Amino acid sequence: MDGYGFSSPVLGEDRSVMARMQKKFWKTKQVLIKATGKKEDEHVVASDADLDAKLEFFRSIQTTCTELLKVIEKYQQRITRLSQEENELGLFLRFQAEHDKTKAGSMMDATSKALCTSAKQRLALCAPLQRMEQEMETFRRRAIADTLLTVSRMEAGPDALLWMKGVSRGWTRHSTQTAGVPWGAGTGEGNEGAL
């Protein structure tokens, strides 16, 4: 409970409702600005273009990372399967060579040794590939997930930026209307010596 008698979840829901309302308001405002043909603030537009380019780059990295993980997994599966098949063929040839004492039998024996050795070497590729897959998965979980969280938080940023711009315009209008008037004049503040 906070000092006002509201529990934290209630306050959190209130903030999210307020954030959604602000977001909808500023999106609607942007649609109206575009529909009426008014110019947007060039700083906001430039910032949006830069942000869009960075988001496009991030999404490209995210997609590439996911695709690379899929490719590594398929490659491991195919290497393992090929090694198994190669080893089985080598064992079959060795078995046949034991029963065939001709020149063909000795050729089958030599081929079986080559196939079994090749299968072992191919299986040796799996350990570095598994390590690479673990590193990519860690990168995806940490870097990409953290960046995605930041991006989702930042997506409220342009709306907040436009909101701050609107508020600052209001302050600017207010300050130009009261220009030349001492601070607190008309509010009763700062006039203690006048009585």
Which pTM was predicted?
A: 0.52
Give tens-digit pLDDT for 61-79.
Answer: 888 999 999 999 999 999 9
Mean pLDDT of 162-167: 60
Count CA atoms closer than 13 A to 44's CA, side-chain side. Answer: 15
Positive or negative torsion for Cα 191, 193, 194, 195:
positive
Q: From CA 186, how far away is CA 3, in angstroms rounded?
A: 34
pLDDT value of position 131: 94
Give tens-digit pLDDT for 121-139.
Answer: 999 999 999 999 999 999 8
Mean pLDDT of 179-187: 48
CA angle 154, 159, 163 (to 5 degrees): 130
pLDDT value of position 193: 44
In this predicted structure, the answer to whether residue 187 has a pLDDT above a threshold of 70 is: no
pLDDT value of position 145: 82
pLDDT value of position 79: 94
Mean pLDDT of 160-175: 58
Q: From CA 172, how far away is CA 168, in angstroms rounded?
A: 6
- % of residues, the chain, pLDDT over 70: 63
CA angle 97, 98, 101 (to 5 degrees): 75
Q: Give the type of residue at 80.
A: T
Give tens-digit pLDDT for 79-130.
Answer: 999 999 999 999 999 998 888 888 988 898 999 999 999 999 999 999 999 9
Residues ≥6 apart with Cβ < 8 Å to 140: 65, 66, 69
Please give the distance of CA 108 from its chain centroid, rounded to a whole number.
Answer: 54
